[in-house]
Structure 1
């Protein structure tokens, strides 16, 4: 019987899947909605299966083969032990391994070599690998971590807008524009903040970069502070990898370099592949031997 591998990249915005043969050759892809297992585990489960089934259909295969596939999943929110156990017991695959979405991104970007990745999107996390040791820096979630992330940038921009409204800080084109998004009515901004999830705040991060490039002093102050946090985390991963290769990943990866310290910019390399490719590679290394024995 033909056997298949599944790679899953599940984040707070979407879930992507790839199906591959036993040799790791990718045959098809699928995509569905959010799959953060900490914030919405049951929604994540549904979207993981939906993306996996879509990948089989995209490959011209029966979606029912999901149940006999071996899967390697990189999932946002995997740092809560009870949640991982809950998800593992309910996955549709024959066998599965759950790791962080950051780890599969590291594997895709650097292959089996040493180095580090900084994932700078709605959230942020820094991952370093040296020999067989993998270290995670940050990634503690929006409420008490994720410094330098899109969510934090967006929130800081809204905070500065209200400081400008109250004439505590001088207004700037960015704060004026952001207040305009809420019809210049701060209670509407406050109401938004009470309902907002990290991704909602993250939608305002592009304002910071756009206005900073135009010389906006408030935007530049926010970016200077945020880039300082990123630099500090990169110093830590540099220590762990003896100053080795560094990849920036995520939605802000192309925007941050001009604001980072030269010592980090000079180490930047282009990622070799994406997170799904990393998930399939890890699935093959995890299950390849047992699949060969079962043939």
Structure 2
């Protein structure tokens, strides 16, 4: 049994946090920027990523150009929809950026920070860090990803999130490199300190209010499904905030998923909903949320 697993957390006594605008509910909009960093036989991988609009029927080991194009849509078309809608509603988001994706489209990555959004590190490839066999191998790819993001955006990323799970070394590697926060955590509604790495804040993420569920059989089908789900989450957290409990709501999007026209309506309507409640919530990048949390706790 792993005694390090913390099932208690704040124990129902959450810290009294007022976000910078005086509200108790912070909202983090996340856009995943990972297209071009997924597994593809055409890029030299043994197999291509099977999960897309449909499960791939191409034999493992054979180049799947259909899947390549499904991913490419996110960069070629979906990206611009997200940039436009965020500008329209005047919200700042955090983009989880894979290093290889940034290296392939540096001009798009530069647009992210040029418009005031945050470019966080999403690993070098769209893969779990838990797959790495050694800390040295993981460190080399982490450094490669940071360098690609910094070269494109002129800003060194301070936040991290990878697909699936961190490795047992990931947080030590992040702390050694001076990262402000990690988001590979699905276990709370507020940031918290990592006990083993006191200078590394954990800013939890969520996979339920996330458009990846359009690609799962138990998930969303119509754009309205995601809109309803986020609206219910917002209602619950606003009710708790009004009772004096500080909270964080995470909403996750992907360029190739909600960047498609029918699903993009969910993005538009969710941001419209947030705008309607702007006097009761604080929509901010994860970097700003992390810094505000630390300032409030100091």
- Higher relative CO (CA 8 A, sep ≥ 6), structure 1 or 2? 2
How does the TM-score come out when normalised to structure 1? Answer: 0.30
User: Considering only CA atoms, is the larger Rg found in Structure 1 or Structure 2?
Assistant: 1
Structure ranking higher in strand proportion: 1
Structure ranking higher in helix proportion: 1
How does the TM-score come out when normalised to structure 2? Answer: 0.29
